[in-house]
Amino acid sequence: MTDNNIDAAVTYGTYLKVDELLALQQARSEGPEHDELLFIVIHQVYELWFKELLHEFDQVMRLLKADDTPRAQHTLKRILTILKVLVTQLDILETMTPREFLTFRERLQAASGFQSDQFRQIEFVLGRKSEAAVARFRAGGRAHTALQRRYTESTLWDAFLHYLAREGYAVPADQLSRDVARPIAPSDAIQQILIDVYRHDAKNAELCERLVDLDEGIQEWRYRHVKMVERTIGAKPGTGGSAGAGYLRTTIGQNLFPDLWAIRTRL
Ligand code: HEM
């Protein structure tokens, strides 16, 4: 083996780019303040999980398109497991008291999770799209390009409806050709199909249950995030310029897949 080959040998550090990774936590406070590292690490870890979630959402939509139900189920299970970790991570940040946060909060200026394009991408995949969210990012940049692409692409719900149609259910044509940028609106025809699925089709009822888990999991994160915000900054406005917890409370309790919830009283 030549010296060159030894240099090029893959190690834990070179494969994972550990040196580069550990250089990415750059505090803005003087000192820096002790708790700022935790704040940065948590957010960076979230962004990595968001990246992985988007990767898995793309996979689950591909698998549904290929009618590969077992692997779609398997991928959804992975997504749900990651989501549980995302919710649990908030516990760590809740060990930071309001006064500890104040030691560096003003250094954040207008920076806020509100500006996380990957979070918006996840919302887009799940059918909550917004032109205003795309427009907040610089045209031509990574975030804008990714959001614009996802704005026009099918959502997970659309992939599911097309899959149901191929499974033999009479999904109305207007649902299959709906404008995928529009919000997912409740549909009597789809609810009738879902009731049929739950009564007679255990395989696809399981798939429906995983989508409900996903919907509930995202709502669980929103609820836990707003409680964390309330206990950390009370009723103060957010750094992103919103009313803070007051704004966040308006995002709670909105079902992503309304038909899956509507049928429950009729099952
Ligand atoms: C001390 C910790 C935190 C506080 C006080 C806080 C506060 C806030 C506030 C006030 C907002 C509303 C927008 C604004 O005006 O800024 C917001 C939005 C948001 N935050 Fe946090 N946050 C914290 C931690 C986190 C973490 C760890 C994440 C993980 C990525 C996160 C992700 C988000 C997202 C995605 C939004 C947008 C939600 C939406 O528009 O539906 N936040 N946060």
The tens digit of pLDDT for each residue in 173-185 reads: 999 999 999 999 9
Q: Is 96 left (phi over 0), alpha (psi -120 to 50) or beta?
A: beta
Q: Is the CB of 112 under 6 A from ligand 1?
A: yes
Q: Is the CB of 87 under 6 A from ligand 1?
A: no
Q: Burial, 177: exposed, middle or buried (Cβ in 10 Å; 0-12, 13-18, 19+)?
A: exposed
CA distance to 116, 117, 144, 221, per residue, from 136 (Å): 11, 9, 8, 23
Q: What is the pLDDT of residues 13-40, one digit of tens each?
A: 999 999 999 999 999 999 999 999 999 9
pLDDT for position 100: 97
What count of other Cβ atoms lies within 10 Å of the Cβ of residue 236? Answer: 13
The residue to mutate among 54, 103, 114, having the most atoms of ligand 1 within 8 angstroms of its beta carbon, is: 114
Q: Is the CB of 113 under 6 A from ligand 1?
A: yes
Q: Is the CB of 248 under 6 A from ligand 1?
A: yes
233 Cα: distance to centroid of ligand 1 (angstroms): 11
189 Cα: distance to centroid of ligand 1 (angstroms): 37
261 Cα: distance to centroid of ligand 1 (angstroms): 27
Q: What is the pLDDT of residues 160-210, one digit of tens each?
A: 999 999 999 999 999 999 999 999 999 999 999 999 999 999 999 999 999
pLDDT for position 4: 56
Q: Is the CB of 233 under 6 A from ligand 1?
A: yes
Task: Give the span between the Cα atoms of 11 and 24, in whole angstroms.
Answer: 20
The residue to mutate among 248, 249, 250, having the most atoms of ligand 1 within 8 angstroms of its beta carbon, is: 248
Q: Is the CB of 239 under 6 A from ligand 1?
A: yes
pLDDT for position 8: 81
Residue 236 CA: nearest ligand 1 atom is 10
What count of other Cβ atoms lies within 10 Å of the Cβ of residue 171? Answer: 20
pLDDT for position 255: 97
All residue ranges of the chain with pLDDT < 70 are 1-7
Task: Give the span between the Cα atoms of 52 and 121, in whole angstroms.
Answer: 12
Q: Is the CB of 232 under 6 A from ligand 1?
A: yes
pLDDT for position 81: 98
Task: Give the span between the Cα atoms of 17 and 12, in whole angstroms.
Answer: 8
Tell me if 153 sits within 8 A of 129, measured CB to CB.
Answer: no
136 Cα: distance to centroid of ligand 1 (angstroms): 16
| pTM recorded for the entire structure | 0.96
In this structure, the residue with its CA closest to atom 21 of ligand 1 is 113
Q: Is the CB of 240 under 6 A from ligand 1?
A: yes
- Measuring CA to CA, which residue among 70, 42, 77 is closest to residue 56? 77
Cis peptide preceding 98, ω within 30 of 0: no
Q: What is the CA radius of gyration of the chain?
A: 21
Residue 251 CA: nearest ligand 1 atom is 41
